[in-house]
A = this chain, B = another copy of it.
């Protein structure tokens, strides 16, 4: 992957996670890189294509980071903690909410391929947590707990970002994992 594509995707991901899909334009991205907007179209024919590429890259990186952390964990509880830490690293490393949390919120206003991609990431998150909890809980309780955990992490990011107080994320997660 060329340097320009990488920088383009970095700028786009950052913009969407901060301000939303519709607040990011090819022109702004181009300007940030010192190129023309038509050159952005050279790499991504449509904005939708860029969005999907971003979700794919994001999902890859997220699950790679998650696996790296979770594989060291001994207990299911520790693996859930690794999950929360992976979310937290994304937040504190950049002060940005989750890409797919943002796209999930905007989903009704997105091209359906893109909202589907974001939904897939979120579902994969819930599934990962549910799978990780297996052995410790019954299926129904596990499903509820998984939804709860992912919802809390996504919501806590938005809360922290809106209130400009990132300790809120830690507060919410501490209480979530206290039980």
Contacts and interface: CB of A to CB of B under 8 A. Distances in A.
Contacts of A108: 18-19, 161
A91 interface: no
A96 to B, nearest CB: 8
A143 B155 contact: no
Given A147-B168, A153-B155, A158-B155, A163 B109 contact: no
Nearest to A100: B162
Q: How many copies does the complex hold?
A: 2
A118 interface: yes
Interface residues of A, number: 50
B144 A175 contact: yes
Interface string A66-97: 00000000000000000000000000000001
Contacts of A174: 144
Contacts of A30: none
Contacts of A2: none
Contacts of A156: 147-148, 151, 155
A105 B109 contact: no
What are the 3 A-B residue pairs with the smallest beta carbon separation, nearest first? Answer: A19-B109, A155-B155, A104-B162
9 contacts: A18-B108, A19-B106, A23-B109, A104-B158, A104-B162, A122-B163, A123-B163, A148-B173, A154-B154
